[in-house]
Amino acid sequence: MFEHRPDRDAEIILIGRSNVGKSTLMRELTGHTFSTGKKPGVTRKPNHYDWNAESFMFTDLPGFGFMSGVEKDMREAIKTDIVHYIEDNAEKILVGVLVVDGKSVIDIIDRHTNNDEIPHDVEMFYFLEELGIPVVVAVNKMDKVDDKDERLDELCDRLGLYPPWQQWSDDTIAPITAKRGQITSLREVLKHHLHEAKRDDLLKFVTK
């Protein structure tokens, strides 16, 4: 179980598979460098970056799903810890940012669906929704995607959102390339949700 969560009243969480760029995105949002690496599973515990005065923080949760060199039992334990963390802190989580790899997410979802499984990304999307946490899908690494509109439409379809993706761009779908600092669309969607939550006092943390 994850321990030592800072006692903050509000947070935005980043969740997603290993190696989708969560830590890079966290760096872009906070200006603070976190451990990143090509080897999946570098982040095993939550990384918190907080502002005590405002009682607010960003939390980068460990990656879930397949990780090279990590036993299945350990992967399942990490996923269970993530689920418990989100359940325990649901009332304090203003937004859940589900980070996916724009280049590979469709293949991953389809591969698991064909195995009669619920893909982790889809499962997590609905899990957050069921808890009443606004979900934003940050579709990362879009610089590596050729037909962007088609890919984003396909992702909406897999998540049960009616395409075209543009109709979800205000509150749910944010195409980004975190490595290049191209996260304006995500900042705009986060601003929308903070405003909806009547937390305009926190807008400065998602505005550059």
Tell whether 5 is covered by a domain. Answer: no
Residue 58 DSSP SS3: strand
Q: Please tell me the predicted confidence (pLDDT) of residue 167.
A: 97
Q: What is the pTM of this model?
A: 0.93
Q: How far apart are CA 142 and CA 121, in angstroms?
A: 17
Contacts of 202 (CB under 8 A, 6+ apart): 10, 54, 56, 94, 194
- What confidence tens digit (pLDDT) does each residue in 47-102 have? 899 998 999 999 999 988 766 666 778 888 888 899 999 999 999 999 999 999 99
With 60 as the cut, is the pLDDT of residue 39 above it?
no
- Of residues 188 and 78, more confidence is placed in 188
Range of the domain at 75: 11-203
Tell whether 142 is covered by a domain. Answer: yes
Q: Please tell me the predicted confidence (pLDDT) of residue 115.
A: 72
With 60 as the cut, is the pLDDT of residue 36 above it?
no
End-to-end CA distance of the chain, in Å? 34
Q: Please tell me the predicted confidence (pLDDT) of residue 188.
A: 98
Tell whether 173 is covered by a domain. Answer: yes
Tell whether 89 is covered by a domain. Answer: yes
Confidence of residue 43 (pLDDT cuts 50, 70, 90): low
Tell whether 52 is covered by a domain. Answer: yes
Tell whether 122 is covered by a domain. Answer: yes
* Whether 35 contacts 186, CB under 8 Å: no
Q: Which of 82, 159, 70 is nearest to 113 (CA)?
A: 159
Rounded to whole angstroms, the maximal C-alpha distance in the chain is: 48
- What confidence tens digit (pLDDT) does each residue in 168-185 have? 999 999 999 999 999 999
DSSP H stretches of helix in the chain: 22-30, 72-88, 105-114, 120-130, 148-158, 184-196
**Segment 37-47 mean pLDDT:** 62
* Whether 3 contacts 88, CB under 8 Å: no
Domain count, the chain: 1
Where residue 152 sits, what CATH number does that domain have?
3.40.50.300
Q: Please tell me the predicted confidence (pLDDT) of residue 67.
A: 63
Tell whether 47 is covered by a domain. Answer: yes
Q: Chain-centre distance of CA 158, in angstroms?
A: 17
Give the type of residue at 35. S
Q: Please tell me the predicted confidence (pLDDT) of residue 114.
A: 77
- What confidence tens digit (pLDDT) does each residue in 138-157 have? 999 999 999 999 999 999 99
Tell whether 178 is covered by a domain. Answer: yes
* Whether 170 contacts 186, CB under 8 Å: no
With 90 as the cut, is the pLDDT of residue 42 above it?
no
